[in-house]
Structure 1
Amino acid sequence: MAKITGLGGIFFKSRDPIALSKWYAEHLGLPAQEWGGAMFTEDESRPGKTLWSPFKADTAYFGAGPQTFMINFRVDDLDSVLINLRRAGVDVDDKSEASEYGKFGWFTDPEGHRVELWEPPASA
């Protein structure tokens, strides 16, 4: 049987796709291409997986407001990323979490999207 083998992409609407891609490149090192998107190649030597996970319609996990999706980026040093975002004046959530699944933090991008950052545990 044919099956899904991984996440093929994240697609969402933006008021200014090129400007938003540049913002992500500047603040989070997103390898933005000239066309405004980014491509990632899986690296088996790094921990973490790419997930596809539907949430209940009434979840509060995506933050307040009508947001119907949330992007989760794997990061290699959550604390440093959050410090750098705060220094740049980005709206970073005051709370972060640590569990057996790793460390999690959140920020809001310039267009109001709540974004999750995840530092996987070494054995993920």
Structure 2
Amino acid sequence: MITSKLGSILLGTTQPDKLKEWYRKTLAPEYNGEGPINLGGFLLVIENRDDVDTKNHEPGRMILNFHVDDFDAVEAQLRAAGVEWLSPVADRPSGRFGTFSDPDGNYLQIIQFK
């Protein structure tokens, strides 16, 4: 049996330029170019869509998780970019978690597993 490898996600939006700039600023400050944003080997494709609303009304349905090795450094980068946490950063038995949202209301998390 062949197991497929997840390589990218399409994020539909009504404001692709704004959303792409937000992702670049917060999660990929070294990115400068056209096309998908490379997030550690996983590609984020942001596309204008007329079949989505301006805000995600069910943001908990799918959360993009970013596994990090240095939580404090990534947290500082996100705070410097103006990210507001949806709930306080929390230490859990399995690791440290922080949840925030993008301008469309999609949820994202940074996680440093133990």
After superposition, residues 1-124 of structure 1 pair within 5 angstroms as 1-4=1-4, 6-29=5-28, 31=31, 33-38=33-38, 40-41=40-41, 65-67=57-59, 68-121=61-114
The structure whose residues are more often strand, as a share, is: 2
- Residues 22 and 32 in structure 1, CA contact (< 8 A), matched pair in contact too: no
Match of 1:52 in 2: none
- Residues 7 and 41 in structure 2, CA contact (< 8 A), matched pair in contact too: no
- Residues 91 and 109 in structure 1, CA contact (< 8 A), matched pair in contact too: no
Letter in 1 for 2:104: E
Give the C-alpha shift of residue 34 in structure 1: 0.8
| Unmatched runs of 5 consecutive residues or more in structure 2 | 43-56
Letter in 2 for 1:22: E
Q: Which moved more, 1:33-42 or 1:71-80?
A: 33-42
Give the C-alpha shift of residue 107 in structure 1: 0.8
- Residues 78 and 105 in structure 1, CA contact (< 8 A), matched pair in contact too: no
| Unmatched runs of 5 consecutive residues or more in structure 1 | 43-64
Letter in 1 for 2:107: R
TM-score normalized by the length of structure 2: 0.64
SS of the residue 1:10 aligns to: strand
Tell me: CA distance 1:33–1:7, structure 2 relative to 1, closer, same or farther (3 Å). farther
Give the C-alpha shift of residue 87 in structure 1: 4.2
Q: CA RMSD in A?
A: 2.7
Letter in 1 for 2:3: K
Higher relative contact order (CA 8 A, sep 6+): 2
TM-score normalized by the length of structure 1: 0.60
Spell out structure 1 runs of 4+ moving beyond 4 A: none
Tell me: CA distance 1:104–1:15, structure 2 relative to 1, closer, same or farther (3 Å). same
